[in-house]
Amino acid sequence: TQLLEQSPQFLSIQEGENLTVYCNSSSVFSSLQWYRQEPGEGPVLLVTVVTGGEVKKLKRLTFQFGDARKDSSLHITAAQPGDTGLYLCARGGGNKLTFGTGTQLKVEL
């Protein structure tokens, strides 16, 4: 099994702070996806990165795919309570996904 390790596992911050979540693997993957899951809901796709070194921005979220395509990061600027949730990276495509271990983020007022 090709594991996707995420760090940190838990993160509790104040509104307005910045944070970075990491996703690492020992193997190369062709693409990587980031999801956010809110309580009582299923995961929702945020972004897909496919090219080594690629950077994608989604409002206050910045996603980066490592040059060697073995790691990825998600940076949130000026976090808001609405960013609270479980952030998951995943590899694979379509409907056969291997998910990372997850980062539980809580943003407090």
Partner 1 sequence: KAGVTQTPRYLIKTRGQQVTLSCSPISGHRSVSWYQQTPGQGLQFLFEYFSETQRNKGNFPGRFSGRQFSNSRSEMNVSTLELGDSALYLCASSLGAPGMNTEAFFGQGTRLTVV
Binding site for partner 1 (CB under 8 A): 1, 31, 40-45, 48, 88, 93-102
DSSP string, 8-56: -SEEEEETT--EEEEEE-SS--S-EEEEEE-TTS--EEEEEE-STT-EE
CA end-to-end distance (rounded Å), the chain: 39
In the complex, the smallest distance separating the C-beta of residue 66 from partner 1, rounded to whole angstroms, is: 19
CB of 11 to partner 1, least distance (A): 16
**DSSP classification of residue 72:** E
**Residue 49 · residue 65 · CB < 8 Å:** yes
| 45 vs 55 by CB, closer to partner 1 | 45
Q: Which is nearer to partner 1, 17 or 41 (CB)?
A: 41
CB of 20 to partner 1, least distance (A): 20
Would you say 56 or 99 has its CB closer to partner 1?
99
